[in-house]
Amino acid sequence: MSRTGTTNWTFTADGGFRSSPSVSPDGTIYIGSCNGNLYALSSSGAVKRAQALGGEVLASPAIAADGTIYVTAISNHYNCLFSLAPTGETNWTCDVGSVPFTVADSAQFSSPSIGPDGSIYVGSMDSRLYSISPAGRTNWTFQMGAVTYASPSIGADGTIYIGADDNRLYAINADGSQKWTFLSLNRIESSVAIARDGTVYSAALDGFLRAFDSNGALKWSTKIGVVSASPSVAQDGSVVVSTHHDFTTLAFNGSGQRLWTLSHGMLTCASTAINQDGTIYLASAMRLYALNGTNASDNSSWPMFRKDLQRHSRALQCSILPPVLSPQKEASLTLNVETGRTYTVQWSSDLKAWQDLTNLSSQAFHPLVFDASGAPSRFYRLRCP
């Protein structure tokens, strides 16, 4: 679809689609189908490849900074997380919960998300949140009270937020421990959006839109109608969300005051998206709407469903592995970064005073930095843009 609303091209697959597409850095569009294929399409709509994953693909892919695709599908009666190279080869697979029957209600609806250190987070129909390393190993699992249809959202501090059918919103630390939880009056099947000040916006099937601070304190709530779609946050702090049965899209300011309401008269389960020119996009039944907004998407850690318009579902990559000391007392530091961004490596001898070791403009996904100072004991940290 062009920005003026004309159709550029269409693509049809047997079985249809039940998830959102994702767009890789090279412009390739990835979308899974109910026929068991993950399709890679060119920007002109041509099929680059159709990759059979063994069963229905009902969740959206996540795309790492190096182009690796993470996607779930049914495989051998398990919900399986696939790691795929941009060229289509399978790097690894990881089981994330059994499927008693190969039907949609048992299959994987929660889409994976990528944390700052490259860990992949995905909720499963076995009522667990999984943390998987980039090498395909399970870091930890977090037990929830029921299955989840929501996708994880990741805060600036690495906190993972996810709702479940036990009516709870969970905030989980990067080590797998619970930070806080909130009990709503009904299931939470949509993903949260996060504003720059750390405010977490969550909508639930109980009809409430709620705003929490990063410590779980409820800032405000407002009754808007049953919601299965995820909210979106704009740069001015306003939040936009669509209701399911009430056929409306609403906007609120950061204090919870209603700014406007659009009645479109049609069922919507789709999440709103805000472009950098302020345009608000929403799908309702058979229609796609483009609304004249006045503010771009918020420059926060997770301002909308799947994080951005490309649906990368990837937090800003920023982590540093423990240093490796050579016989010559040279420390080798491996960084997890994104290309085209500037990072600062700092060192300290007491964890109080920090000095810059080097500033670098990353030209590789996992660059090496060397400290040849010969210092017997140093701590290191990576400062992100």
Q: What is the pLDDT of residues 157-192, one digit of tens each?
A: 999 999 999 999 999 999 999 999 999 999 999 999
Q: Which residue has the higher pLDDT, 268 or 241?
A: 241
- pLDDT higher than threshold 60 for residue 101: no
What is the reported pTM? 0.92
- pLDDT higher than threshold 70 for residue 107: no
Could you tell me which of 308, 333, 331 has the C-alpha nearest to residue 319?
333
Confidence of residue 74 (pLDDT cuts 50, 70, 90): confident
- pLDDT higher than threshold 70 for residue 268: no
Confidence of residue 247 (pLDDT cuts 50, 70, 90): confident
> Cβ distance 175 to 203 under 8 Å?
no
The pLDDT value recorded for residue 106 is: 59
Could you tell me which of 125, 129, 68, 65 has the C-alpha nearest to residue 101?
125
**Collapsing DSSP states into helix, strand and coil, what is residue 105?**
helix
> Cβ distance 289 to 283 under 8 Å?
yes
The pLDDT value recorded for residue 54 is: 84
pLDDT digits (tens, 9 = 90+) for 336-349: 999 888 999 999 99
The pLDDT value recorded for residue 25 is: 85
Q: Following DSSP, what letter does each residue of 50-66 receive, concatenated? A: EEE-SS---S--EE-TT
- Residue 106 main-chain phi, psi, to 5 deg: -105, -5
pLDDT digits (tens, 9 = 90+) for 278-332: 999 988 767 788 899 889 999 999 999 999 999 999 999 999 988 888 888 888 9
| Euclidean distance between CA atoms 26 and 161, whole angstroms | 29
Q: Which residue has the higher pLDDT, 247 or 268?
A: 247
Confidence of residue 384 (pLDDT cuts 50, 70, 90): confident
Secondary structure of 322-362 as H, E, C letters? CCEECCCCCEEEEEECCCCCEEEEEEECCCCCCEEEEEEEC
Bridge partners for 23 per DSSP: 29
Q: Which residue has the higher pLDDT, 147 or 101?
A: 147
| Euclidean distance between CA atoms 167 and 185, whole angstroms | 6
**Collapsing DSSP states into helix, strand and coil, what is residue 279?**
coil
- pLDDT higher than threshold 80 for residue 197: yes
The pLDDT value recorded for residue 12 is: 87
The pLDDT value recorded for residue 328 is: 80
Token pair 């700014």 is at which residue?
A: 259
In sequence order, what are the residues at sequence separation of 6 or more whose Cβ sits closer than 8 angstroms to the Cβ of residue 130?
Answer: 81, 94, 96, 120, 121, 122, 123, 124, 138, 141
Mean pLDDT of 12-34: 89
> Cβ distance 25 to 12 under 8 Å?
no
Q: What percent of the chain has pLDDT over 70?
A: 95
Distance of CA 326 to the CA centre of its chain: 38
Token pair 């995820």 is at which residue?
A: 230
Average confidence score pLDDT of the chain: 90
The pLDDT value recorded for residue 97 is: 84
Token couple for 13? 């697959």
CB pairs under 8 A, 24+ apart, for 144-150?
Answer: 144/168, 144/170, 146/187, 148/110, 148/123, 148/124, 148/189, 149/109, 149/110, 149/123, 149/189, 150/110, 150/123, 150/188, 150/189, 150/190, 150/191
> Cβ distance 166 to 126 under 8 Å?
no
**Collapsing DSSP states into helix, strand and coil, what is residue 206?**
coil
74, 136, 278, 366, 367 from 93: Cα distances, Å: 11, 7, 39, 22, 26
